A = this chain, B = another copy of it.
Amino acid sequence: MTDGLDDLKDITKRTSKMLFGEPKPGEESGPGAYALWKEFDPELAKHISMFYTGRLYSREVISQKQRELCAVAALTVLDKPRELAIHIGAAMNVGATREEVAEVIFQMATYGGVPTMVEGLRTLKEVLEKRAG
């Protein structure tokens, strides 16, 4: 266990910036809704962020694009539209195309049923419109 907490903070920031973009002033970007967590417990919010983003998402066993497409797959079948929108954005930030994201969502009809596929495509469409606009 060589990482000190300072290293972990740096890794968390770098990974978060790569996936979720530069935090805007007055807003902290990130998976889920980091600002929301902080309202309820800032210390725990940091640990949550450092664990999921710093420890898990920063790993390099699979490519970031592969990782984010798997996140898209999971969040589609779990039908979590807000978190899915964030990870569709992350997938595209690390190189996935619109067609690749759509393909993963279409495939999910098999495992999660057609309604989860439909909701997934709806979320994808909204993300594409926001990024285009």
Contact = CB atoms under 8 A, between A and B. Distances in A.
Given A47-B51, A77-B77, A77-B78, A102 B70 contact: no
Copies of the chain in the assembly: 6
A69 B110 CA distance: 14
Contact of A125 (B39, B59, B75): B39
A78 B118 contact: no
Interface size range of chain A in the complex: 35 or more
Contacts of A78: 77, 111-113, 115
Given A33-B122, A56-B106, A70-B73, A61 B99 contact: yes
A11 interface: no
A6 to B, nearest CB: 10
